[in-house]
Amino acid sequence: MWMENQIIQGDCTQVLPQIPSESIDLVVTDPPYGVRYIDRRGRKVANDDDLKPVLAAFGDVYRVLKQNRFCISFYGWNHVDEFFRSWRSAGFYPVGHLVWRKSYASSRGFLESRHEQAYLLAKGRPAKPEKPISDVREWHYSGNRVHPTQKDVSILKPLIESFSRPGDLVLDPFSGSGSTSIAAAEAGRRYLGIELEPQYCKYTRECLARQGNSPRRADRFTAALADFGAWMEEQGHALPLDFYARAEREWHIASGH
């Protein structure tokens, strides 16, 4: 398929309309926050000065997502009203809120900024997990080496494992340095990233190519698990999404990997 395991360089408001409806299993994204961010090295985030074209993407994000699935979106707390209007008018409704606790202050104003946040948004009526993950999580600093607001792959991987199945297709329309796609690939999922800036696309493709050259020993287990899930579904016994994450955890413990 043209649209899997790729990082597409372009404007997601133009690329998303080309993606078939209900073809994506999970969206994990970190759009510009609308805060005109500029870091100590003078680096900026494209479209961070105008949220309109950013928020316009969520209509198509909803359309391309399958029924009874999730979109996890980071957001800027000072524009929560605009983000919420856009998510709701697309059709999403919130089913959870995640907070990452930082061990350091990323800025100081009226308060010290010591957290990041994201909403867990649902399309349709997804089944609840048997063992939900905590909504308060530890932040791991990425070092922002490649991108000024780079998320560490390790904070995204547990979300992908909890809200998708092995082999699922995970989309990030505001891909940046590709942390979502890299986490998805590490978790044995397929990925699709869209990013405006060519240098971030290049970096992500190089990381993913390196990952592809060193196949994990878990791959066969992940593939077998995906086959089992598909077979169960054919029999009319859909497994809860967290079944896969629990099975993978057990496998890691049992096999020592």
Residues at the interface with ligand SAM (CB under 6 A): 11-13, 30-32, 45-47, 53-54, 147, 149-151, 174, 176-177, 179, 194-197, 200
Residue closest to ligand SAM when measured from CB atoms? 176
Q: Which of residues 164 and 175 has its CB atom nearest to ligand SAM in the complex?
A: 175
Least Å distance between CB 150 and ligand SAM?
4
Nearer to ligand SAM, 200 or 244 (CB): 200
Q: Strands 136-138, 65-74: parallel, antiparallel or unpaired by DSSP?
A: unpaired
Nearer to ligand SAM, 194 or 225 (CB): 194
- Give the CA-trace dihedral at 17, 20, 25, 27, to 10 degrees: 0
Q: Between residues 185 and 218, which has the closer beta carbon with respect to ligand SAM? A: 185
CB of 55 to ligand SAM, least distance (A): 10
| Least distance CB 192 / ligand SAM (angstroms) | 12
Identity of the residue, 60 or 248, whose beta carbon is nearer to ligand SAM in the bound complex: 60
- Using only C-alpha atoms, the chain has a radius of gyration, in whole angstroms, of 18
Question: What are the DSSP calls for the chain, one per residue?
Answer: -TTSSEEEES-HHHHGGGSPTT-EEEEEE----SS--B-TT--B-TTTT--HHHHTTHHHHHHHEEEEEEEEEE--GGGHHHHHHHHHHHT-EEEEEEEEE-SS-S-BSSSB--EEEEEEEEES-PPPPSSPPPSEEE------SSSTTPPPHHHHHHHHHHHS-TT-EEEESS-TTTHHHHHHHHTT-EEEEEES-HHHHHHHHHHHHHHHTS--TTHHHHHHHHHHHHHHHHTT-PPPTHHHHHHHHHHHHHHT-
CB of 219 to ligand SAM, least distance (A): 24
CB of 28 to ligand SAM, least distance (A): 9
Measured distance CA(187)–CA(234) in Å, rounded: 24
Residue 119: CB minimum distance to ligand SAM, A: 15
Q: Which is nearer to ligand SAM, 49 or 130 (CB)?
A: 49
Nearer to ligand SAM, 207 or 241 (CB): 207
